Amino acid sequence: MVNIDKVKKKSTSMSPIAVPDADRLAKICYQTFESISKTGKPILGKEWTVLSCIAKYEHHTKDLEVVSLGTGTRCIGRSLLSNQGDKLNDSHAEVMCRRGFLLYLYDEISKAMDPEENSIFSFNESKKKFEISSDISFHFMTTFAPCGDASIFDIESSRSEEVIEPSESKRSKLHEPRDEKSIDNTKTTNFTGAKLIYKNTEVPQDLMAQSIGDVRTKPGRGEPTLSISCSDKLAKWNVLGLQGALIYSLLDKPIYYSSITLCDHQHCDIEAAKRAIWKRFTNTKFSPEKPFTVNQPLIQMSRGKKFKYERNMDRDPAPGSIVWSKLKKCVHQVSVNGKLQGATKKSGGRLKISKIELFRCYFEILKKFNDKLNIFEGDVDFTSLRYCDAKSQSTEYQQVWKNLKRDYFKVWATKPSEINMFIIS
C-alpha cells in the first residue's frame, strides 16, 4: 500500500507543496532503472554502484515519473581535464543525473516553442522568459549518502543497528571510493573520504579532518581531482538552482528540488543531509536576492526495498557511469573515464551530457529564438561564441554565485580557465 503523499510548508506565505512519499519515489526510481537496457549496468553479485534520480511530480494528477537518472562513483584526475568540453570531470551518480536533467530541460524548452507539443514550460512574451508550470515540482532520490559533508555523522545516534567495520582487504576494492565509515575508541562515526580545500596551501593541513560545513573535493585513490564533493554541489544547486547559468538566462526563476529522498538508512542520515544541503547557510550573512533563495527541501528516508546494486564491500565498483534522460527520444549513454563508452577518434562520438553537447543545445535555442529572448543584443556571430562568454551573460546568476563564494563557501576548487573557452565548431 502506497502511503499518502506528504505536504511540506516552505513558509507561512506560500501554499503547501505536495511531496511524494519516500517509498513511492524510491520504488518508481528502481522500476525505471530496471526498465532501461542493461548497457552499463553493474554485473549482479559482482559489482555495485550508486543510483540517483530526478522525478517530476504533477500535483493535480499526482502523477510521478522519472525524467533523469544517473549511476556512478568515479571522477577523473586534474591532468585528464579537456579543453574541448568533450569529457566529464565528474561521473558520480548525483552529477550524471543532474546533467541528464539539463538535457530534459533543454528538450522541454524547445517543445514550449512548438504549439503542437506539450511542455512543462510556457513562454512569457512580456518577460521574454520561459516559465515552468506551477503544477509541477521536482524530487531527487539517491541510494547512498552524497560524498562530503552529508556523510559525516554519528552512526550510533543515527540508527541502532550493529555496524561492522570492513577489513582492509575489502576496502581496497573501492578504487575511487565513496565515503566510508571509521570506528574510534568511543563511538562509531560515518566519515567522508572527500578532501578539504585550503586557501593557504603552503601551511600543512589535515586534508582528511572531519570538520563539518567545509568545502571538499571528491575522494579518490589516484591522482587528486578538482571535482567538488556532491554535498557541496547539492548545496550550490540549492541556492543557484539545478538549471545552471546557461538555462537560467532563458528562465524567469531558478528550479529547485522540492524533496530529497535517501535510500540507505545504514549509510545515510537525514540531519547530516539537512546540515550539508541548506542548514550550513544559517547564521551566516549570506542572503541571495530574489528570485534566488536558500531552498529548504524536505529530506526524507525510504525504508522500503533496497537497491539491488547497492554498495557491498565484497564487490567491485562498476567501472562505468550511466546517464538516462527522458526526451522525445530517450538518451541512454555510458561514461568510462569521462568519455562515451565505445567511442573512438574516428567515430567522434560524445556524451550528450558533456559540456560541449549541452552548450550545443543552448546554441540551437539561441539560433532559433534569440530575437524573442533578447539575451544578446544586436548581431551575434554564434559560431565564435565561447562557452565562458555565454555563461557570463547570465548576470543575475553569476552575481549570486560570486556572493555565495564570498560570504559562505570561501574556497572552491578552481579549474584552468582554458577548459571553458571552447566554441561550437
Q: How far apart are the C-alpha atoms of 63 and 84, rounded to whole Å?
A: 40
* DSSP state at residue 350: -
Angle at 187 between CA 183 and CA 193, to 5 degrees: 40
d(CA 66, CA 100): 11
What is the DSSP secondary structure assignment for residue 33, as one 8-state letter? Answer: H
Residue 101 CB contacts under 8 Å (≥ 6 apart), including other chains: 54, 67, 68, 138, 242, 325
d(C-alpha 325, C-alpha 66), whole Å: 9
Distance CA 103, CA 69 (A): 11
Q: What is d(CA 295, CA 57) in angstroms, rounded to the nearest whole number?
A: 18
| Rounded CA separation 153/281 (Å) | 18
Are 48 and 317 in contact by the 8 Å Cβ rule? The answer is yes
Question: Which residues, at least 6 apart from 406, have a Cβ–Cβ distance to it below 8 Å?
Answer: none
Report the sign of the C-alpha dihedral through residues 147, 275, 154, 269, in that order.
negative
Rounded Cα distance, 247 and 130, in Å: 10
Q: Are 193 and 150 in contact (CB under 8 A)?
A: no
Round to whole Å and give the CA distance between 190 and 157: 11
Which residue in the list 34, 47, 94, 108 is annotated as catalytic? 94
Is 162 an annotated catalytic residue? no
Which residues are paired to 299 by β-bridges? 260
Q: Establish how many alpha carbons lie within 13 A of residue 30's alpha carbon, considering only the half-sphere containing its beta carbon.
A: 17
CA atoms in the 13 A half-sphere facing the CB of 354: 27
Q: Confirm if 64 and 24 have CB atoms less than 8 A apart.
A: yes
In the DSSP assignment, the letter for residue 204 is -
Q: Which residues are known catalytic residues?
A: 94
